[in-house]
Amino acid sequence: MSTPLPDIELERIEVDLFVSALKRRYGFDFSQYAPASLTRRVRQLMHVHHCDSISALTARLLHKADFVTQVIEGLSVPVSEMFRDPLMFRALREQVLPLLASYPRINVWQAGCAYGQEVYSLAILLEEAGLYERSHIFATDFNPAALKRAHEGIYPAKDAQLWSRNYIEAGGSQSLSSYYSARYDFIRLHERLRKNITFTNHNLVTDKVFCEAHLVLCRNVLIYFSNPLQDRTLALFRDSLVRGGYLCLGLRESLDFAPAAADFTAVDASQRLYRRKLQAPSGEHDASA
């Protein structure tokens, strides 16, 4: 008689089957996400949707096609705020934008844009630097529901007080309220901030270079990836950047020990702000030449 599997091993099998079902049925690949983080989110999905087991969650996913939208929302982590980590935005304002001003056109890629708060923060930064009219922000995420909300630019008014403090700490010289209108319990960012933003679907796990960018931001996304997927994603960002372009990561993330690190220098390591080297490392072919 076989020995029953320990609960933790059984759960690991169930999560693997769930991930396989999601990929084979709908094309979403979570196989390279950090296992502990992914398992926590799958458990949460199971409880939110009142499933007795992860296997029951998998069965619902397989047989109810409209359920995948809720699954993707649950597995993504669309948590952000305007001018989050304000010292990073101050570093962009003071150390990066003056150098980007030399380009006739500026492309910015915000990867993993979630609900768009940091995208609009970037738009405000560019406008205040006098660069927004010749800039374009490509804001991408794999979660269609998050992209829809980001495009709308509507947020709870209760968040505005924190965001205003962040804005001032990031070097803002006006009132953040000059960038939105308030009605009832919500604020809506002004239309002028959206005119040079393209919100579109892009999956860092499976998709390739998205655009030629002068600045790439991907903050607090890599922490959910396995090490090989982190390396792939950082190489993707490197290949997307022009020589001398800038990369900004989340404060819990770093280029340290990644193969792509050889292609960057730190502009402000404390704020995870890096610049792609103007010359390829010795002995390497410059693919962007």
What integer pLDDT is reported at residue 287 of this predicted model? 42
List pLDDT tens digits, range 225-270.
989 999 999 999 999 999 999 999 999 998 988 999 999 999 999 9
Report pTM: 0.86
Percent residues over pLDDT 90 in the chain: 71
What integer pLDDT is reported at residue 92 of this predicted model? 97
Residues 6+ apart with CB under 8 A from 175: 164
Lowest mean pLDDT among 106-110, 158-162, 277-281: 277-281
Which of the pair, 269 or 286, is modelled with greater confidence?
269
List pLDDT tens digits, range 131-157.
999 999 999 999 888 999 999 999 999
C-alpha distance across the termini of the chain, in Å: 64
Domains in the chain, CATH or no CATH each:
7-75 (no CATH), 86-276 (3.40.50.150)
Helix, strand and coil in the chain, % to nearest 5: 50, 20, 35
Could you tell me where the DSSP H helices lie in 92-179? 97-100, 117-128, 144-152, 160-169
The pLDDT-based confidence of 3 (bands split at 50, 70, 90) is: low
List pLDDT tens digits, range 68-97.
988 988 887 666 899 999 999 999 999 999
What mean pLDDT do residues 209-220 have? 93
What integer pLDDT is reported at residue 29 of this predicted model? 87
What mean pLDDT do residues 5-30 have? 87
Which of the pair, 111 or 80, is modelled with greater confidence?
111
The mean predicted confidence, pLDDT, of the chain is 91
177 is written with which tokens? 């309220």
Q: Is the pLDDT of residue 188 over 90?
A: yes
What integer pLDDT is reported at residue 86 of this predicted model? 96
Calpha distance 285→289 (Å, rounded): 9
Q: Is the pLDDT of residue 289 over 60?
A: no
